[in-house]
């Protein structure tokens, strides 16, 4: 049986999926048609129900719950891993941010949700592919930008400055790890198949951990930032035990994020279907 599977080309995703999609583990007859796209594209496709299984931002989860269930393995959660609000300006006054132009990596990303939680009055938002945000700030196309992924490790080299760590803000407000993204699968598949894919992703993550710090060619091939030091920084920051199993703490964090979404979008009820594969 072949499943369509989407995830980003970032090192944290290619690291955990390498063994699964490149036949380094026994997949029990499952094969995969892999689609590598930026997270906002994957979010949009999840809203359209295009892929059988996919990485998504938890920020879009309330909009796809009727179609998809969240798997327990492979998700990105943690502490100190949140998006950063950056600028080119020296000593920017936080009280003036609401009037500034802000670049964000997609309307339905967790980064946007966390930014909106920290800066609810900011309305001048411009959504673009995450890898374009640094240069948009450098080139004065926007006043500030919210960066994710590899850009956390490169923005200072371009003379940019951190204004707010949005992950730290979330952790302070909720005392929970930051739920960045999860792996979802269509509810039309039976629970047996959902659990099988979940177990295979867990095995794939464990395989990657067991062979680290070796970097697979699959990771190097697709990394936006080709310097191996940056790839390892990325993996070390974003890949942790939550990737193997979300656990009770992770589930609580996701539910808190959904409650924040409901507060910002009154009338949306996200408790109508089970969230997770059990």
The one catalytic residue among 112, 149, 222, 234: 149
C-alpha to C-alpha distance for 74 and 245, rounded to whole angstroms: 7
**Domains 2-78+179-264 and 84-174 are alike in CATH topology:** yes
Please check whether the domain covering 84-174 is classified as CATH 3.40.190.10: yes
pLDDT at residue 91 tops 90: no
The b-or-e profile of 153-168 (16+ CB within 10 A means b, else e) is: bbbeeeebbebbbbbe
pLDDT at residue 54 tops 70: yes
Q: Active-site residue 112, yes or no?
A: no
pLDDT at residue 187 tops 90: yes
Quick one: pLDDT band at residue 73, thresholds 50, 70, 90? Answer: very high
For the chain, percent of residues with pLDDT exceeding 70: 96
Q: Mean pLDDT across the chain, nearest whole number?
A: 90
pLDDT at residue 271 tops 70: no
pTM of the model: 0.83
Structure tokens at 258: 């959904």
pLDDT at residue 162 tops 70: yes
pLDDT at residue 17 tops 80: yes
Where do the structural domains in the chain lie, given as residue ranges?
2-78+179-264, 84-174
Residue 269: per-residue pLDDT:
62
Pairing of strands 102-104, 144-147: parallel
Quick one: pLDDT band at residue 242, thresholds 50, 70, 90? Answer: low
pLDDT in tens, 250-261: 889 898 888 888
Greatest C-alpha distance within the chain: 57
Residue 238: per-residue pLDDT:
66
pLDDT at residue 204 tops 90: yes
pLDDT at residue 40 tops 90: no
Position with higher pLDDT, 22 vs 246: 22
On the question of a cis peptide bond just before residue 171, with omega within 30 degrees of 0, the verdict is no
Q: Taking residues 270-276, report their average pLDDT.
A: 77
Quick one: pLDDT band at residue 235, thresholds 50, 70, 90? Answer: confident
Q: Which fold has domain 2-78+179-264?
A: D-Maltodextrin-Binding Protein; domain 2 (3.40.190)
Position with higher pLDDT, 133 vs 93: 133
């Amino acid at each position: 049986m072949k499943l369509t599977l989407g995830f980003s080309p970032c090192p944290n995703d290619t690291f955990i999926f390498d063994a699964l999609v490149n036949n380094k583990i026994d997949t029990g007859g499952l094969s995969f048609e892999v689609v590598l796209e930026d997270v906002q594209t994957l979010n949009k496709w999840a809203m359209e129900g295009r892929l059988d299984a996919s990485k998504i931002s938890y920020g879009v989860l309330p909009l796809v719950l009727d179609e998809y269930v969240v798997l327990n393995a492979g998700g990105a959660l943690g502490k100190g891993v949140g998006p950063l609000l950056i600028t080119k300006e020296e000593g920017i006054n936080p009280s003036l941010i609401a009037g500034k132009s802000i670049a964000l990596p997609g309307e339905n990303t967790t980064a946007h949700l966390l930014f909106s939680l920290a800066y609810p009055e900011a309305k001048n938002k411009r959504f673009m592919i995450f890898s374009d945000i640094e240069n948009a700030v450098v080139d004065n196309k926007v006043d500030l930008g919210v960066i994710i992924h590899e850009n956390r490790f490169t923005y200072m080299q371009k003379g940019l400055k951190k204004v707010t760590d949005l992950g730290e803000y979330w952790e302070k407000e909720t005392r929970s790890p930051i739920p960045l993204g999860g792996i979802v699968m269509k509810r039309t598949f039976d629970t047996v198949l959902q659990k099988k894919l979940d177990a295979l992703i867990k095995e794939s993550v464990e395989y990657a951990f067991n062979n680290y710090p070796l970097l697979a060619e699959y990771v190097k091939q697709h990394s936006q930032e080709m310097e191996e030091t940056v790839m390892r920084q990325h993996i070390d920051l974003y890949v942790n035990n939550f990737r193997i199993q979300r656990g009770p703490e992770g589930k609580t964090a996701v539910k808190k994020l959904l409650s924040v979404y409901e507060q910002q979008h009154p009338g949306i009820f996200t408790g109508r279907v089970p969230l997770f594969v059990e």
